[in-house]
Structure 1
Amino acid sequence: MQMTAGGIRVAVLTVSDTRTEVTDKGGPLVRELAQEAGMEITASVIVKDEPEAIRSAVAEWMTHEEVDIIITTGGTGIARRDVTIEAVRPMLNKELDGFGELFRFLSYEEIGTRAILSRALGGSIGDKAVFVLPGSPGAVRLAMEKLIIPEAEHITKELTKHRQPRT
């Protein structure tokens, strides 16, 4: 079943101390699935597992009109260096608790009790949606296909419906 979220503009942030453009699997999969759904990729970058680098990339994209959704991948584990959720959560205006809950529920169906290690976060900053995903291709595919793509248009519409027209 081909889902579409046409016209949605996405920025993709890979967070990793070890991944490069050549070895990153999560970021390219986010881009591929988003494009297959009719979304436009407007930015993509890799940063280290450093809170300031993560916040800086997200904050930069918050100022870009051509970004509707920011999707991060990586840095969500429980190791000391996994800080993406801790870096992004304080930036959110509103958190979509159901995103993380559903992500873990669906993960449990696929990987069993290892899902307790699955940290994922969804929310909004201003009129932009933000999703923080683990870096594994399986987690990216699950989040994109079962949660983000099916709801992207609705979420974007809700976040922008009170936007003031430009004068």
Structure 2
Amino acid sequence: MSSTERGFIPVRIAVLTVSDSRSMADDRSGQVLVDRIALAGHELADRKILRDERVGIAAQLRMWSEDPGVDVVISTGGTGLTGRDVTVEAHRDVYEKEIEAFGTVFAIVSMKKIGTSAVQSRATGGVANGTYLFALPGSPGACKDAWDEILVNQLDYRHMPCNFVEILPRLAENRRRK
């Protein structure tokens, strides 16, 4: 079956902004993601802003990953190198499997835009409870790059030769074998 014969399958995406200072009114990175999710035809399942606190971030990720109304979680912010940047650690507290190549591909995309400053990114992706989880840097540009260059394709069932959507129903198959 060619990609033109496959129909679009919308997924339900929750957006989490991690910031000690942002509100919904000035959350530009979260808004970039919300706008692109809608433009692509997906559903915004939920949106929140949380402070840079590892336990709280991990708890929210777990809650969404256990919610059958959420297929994907994208967080923005808290992926840097400073002491308050704990989003990556919170994600890894929740992951059952890490998608190691996500960070690598994001670094390649970033290199084209910001050169060697891309080494400071700790973007990551993983799976928990049959839900995809992605942590992106907190800049609107990084969110645009991750969505436009990686996620828009991987979250589109029509993208060939493979994509995240086609294996979504099988992510938690180990739980059904018991």
Q: 1:157 Cα deviation (Å)? A: 2.6
Q: 1:160 aligns with which of 160, 164, 169?
A: 169
**Is the CA contact 1:129–1:156 (under 8 Å) kept in the aligned structure 2?**
no
SS in 2 for 1:22: helix
8 Å CA contact 1:12, 1:43 repeated in 2: yes
Whether the aligned pair in 2 keeps the contact of 1:68 and 1:156 (CA below 8 Å) is: no
TM-score (norm 2): 0.86
How far does the alpha carbon of each residue in 1:17-66 deviate from its partner, in whole angstroms, 9 at most, with x for none?
A: 01111111111111110110011001000000001110111111122111
2:153 equivalent to 1:145: no
Look up the match of 1:51: 54
Aligned sequence identity (%): 36
Q: Is the 8 A contact 1:5 1:39 kept in 2?
A: no
In the alignment, structure 2 segments of 5+ residues that lack a partner are 1-6, 158-162
Q: What is the root-mean-square deviation of aligned Cα atoms in Å?
A: 1.7
Unaligned ranges ≥5, structure 1? none
Asked whether 1:26 is paired with 2:35, we answer: no
Equivalent residue letter for 1:69: V
Q: 2:14 aligns with which of 11, 16, 19?
A: 11
Q: Give the alignment of 1:19-98 within 5 angstroms.
A: 19-98=22-101
Partner in structure 1 of residue 109 of structure 2: 106
Runs (4+) off by over 6 Å: none
Distance 1:28 1:6 in 2: 22
Structure number, greater radius of gyration: 2
